[in-house]
Amino acid sequence: MRTTEVAADFGALGEEFTRNPYPVYAGLRARGPVHRVRVPEGAEGWLVVGYEACRAALTDPALSKSWRDASPALPLTRLSAGENLLSSNPPDHTRLRRLVAREFTTRRIEGLAPRVAALTGELLDAMLARAEGRADLVDALAFPLAMGIICELLGVPSLDRAAFRGWAEDALSSPDQETRTAATGSMTRYLVAMVAEKRGLPGDDLMSALIRTTDEAGDRLSPDELIGMAWLLLVTGFETTVNLIASGVLTLLRHPEQLAALRAEPGLVDNAVEEVLRYEGPVETTTYRFTTTPVEIGGVTVPGGGELVLIALADADRDPARFAEPQRFDIRRPTGGHLAFGHGVHYCLGAPLARLQARIVLNALLARCPGLALAVDPTELSWRHGLLIRGPRRLPIGW
């Protein structure tokens, strides 16, 4: 069966959907696993919902990540610069991931734990010294921590963080096509200059290592691939972590019994982070995929020819067919198998770093702020627009 009816126009659903998209996704899931939709940018595409359908779509080779396979009729702007892991398919993706994984190792990430703890402590010192006893957790802690760590990891301490933050938010979340295009262009020009500077002044950081690295056959990243990897690591390296931290703290504050359980048993922090990822993950739908051949999902045929396909990770992780009572936030829940970081060859490379920072922040924040509370009504919070990144723009807290 093939359908051309638009089941949901996400650009017309307004603030209520932005604040709480889960009922809309659940309603679509009740009707089937795939639906024709209109994205906020105006393009029409296909949305996959439900755990099993999403998990299968994440590994379907007929769904390409390369913009070369996108239909020229789609009114969309590419979300990234250069060639990177988010815009390539095997075997190109396999080659890129192999080269990057040689340097972006578990050992390198684990070695950052003392620095993450130290920077978290410094930021909390500054935040808690405020006489007014309140702050925006995003500006005071989540953003400077995530951006600081990724900049130190890449060896770009001079990065204009305020400008880069604005460009990243516009490129990933603005519903205005011209704004997205301008932000992507500004970011790309900045990264070209940054990589050129790093070539001239290499250090022992990850960016220098990526410039130097070669495999056994002498293969190395091209200049365009280095720009792409810089974009990927910088943008996704702080965006997902900022929103994981902010959403994690907000979710705990909105579930005081779970917050109390974590305070009483700090050893639950790892599972608490996983439950936050399942319940309120930082990636709502995946980056774009494009059909290379007709794909049948749940009896619906999605045409080939570069049609846009989005996979609703946020819905997959609240599917009652996979997680019992999925609307209930429970830090003791078995969370294995959630899709917050994807699945298959495109599983998020930076997942260990995001988890590390979230774990350290939650432990430190709860230990030092016994009176932690929201400083506004939750309904007053403004959420990120768009279907990609999910999280509150600001999180006013008091202590």
In a domain, 89, yes or no: yes
Band (pLDDT 50/70/90 cuts) for residue 65 is: very high
Per-residue confidence at 103, pLDDT binned at 50, 70, 90? confident
- Beta-sheet pairing, 289-291 with 308-311: antiparallel
Residue 303: inside a domain? yes
What pLDDT is stored for residue 99 in this prediction? 83
What pLDDT was estimated at residue 108? 85
Q: What is the mean pLDDT of residues 389-398?
A: 96
pLDDT at 245 over 60: yes
Point out which residues pair with 225 in neighbouring strands.
none
Q: Which residue has the higher pLDDT, 282 or 226?
A: 282
Mean pLDDT of the chain: 91
Sign of CA dihedral 311, 313, 314, 317: positive
Confidence of residue 339 (pLDDT cuts 50, 70, 90): very high
pLDDT band at 124 (very low <50, low <70, confident <90, very high): very high
The more confident residue out of 206 and 114 is 114
Q: Which of 77-86, 253-262, 342-351 has the lowest mean pLDDT?
A: 77-86
Q: What was the pLDDT predicted at 178?
A: 85
Q: Which residues pair with 45 in a beta bridge?
A: 37
Residue 3 has pLDDT above 60, yes or no: no
pLDDT at residue 77, rounded to an integer = 74
Angle between helix 92-101 and 223-231 (nearest 10) = 70
Q: Is residue 1 part of a domain?
A: no
Structural domain boundaries enclosing 32: 6-398
Across the range 366-378, mean pLDDT stands at 95
279-301 residue pLDDT tens: 999 999 999 999 999 999 888 89
Q: What is the mean pLDDT of residues 309-319?
A: 98
Least confident of 109-113, 186-190, 281-285, 336-340: 186-190
Q: What CATH number does residue 107 fall under?
A: 1.10.630.10
Q: What is the number of alpha carbons within 13 Å of residue 157 lying toward its C-beta?
A: 4
Report whether the peptide linkage leading into residue 114 is cis, meaning its omega lies within 30 degrees of zero.
Answer: no
Which pLDDT band holds residue 326 (cuts at 50, 70, 90)?
Answer: very high
130-140 confidence digits (pLDDT tens) = 999 999 999 99
Q: What is the mean pLDDT of residues 12-37?
A: 96
DSSP labels, 245-307: HHHHHHHHHT-HHHHHHHHH-GGGHHHHHHHHHHHH-SBSSPSPEEESS-EEETTEEEPSSS-
| Top-confidence residue, 171 or 8 | 8
Side-chain-side CA neighbours of 69 within 13 Å: the count stands at: 21
More confident residue, 153 or 395: 395
pLDDT grade for 191, boundaries at 50, 70 and 90:
confident
Looking at per-residue pLDDT, the higher value among 103 and 189 belongs to 189
Report helix, strand or coil for 223.
helix
Q: Is the pLDDT of residue 79 over 70?
A: no
Averaged pLDDT, 28-52:
95
Is 97 part of a structural domain of the chain? yes
Radius of gyration of the chain from Cα atoms? Answer: 21
| Chain center to CA of 183 | 18
Q: How many domains does the chain have?
A: 1
pLDDT of residue 85: 86
**Which tens digit of pLDDT belongs to each residue from 194-218?**
888 888 888 888 888 888 887 666 7
Res 161 pLDDT > 90:
no
Inside any domain, residue 187:
yes
156 or 319, higher pLDDT: 319
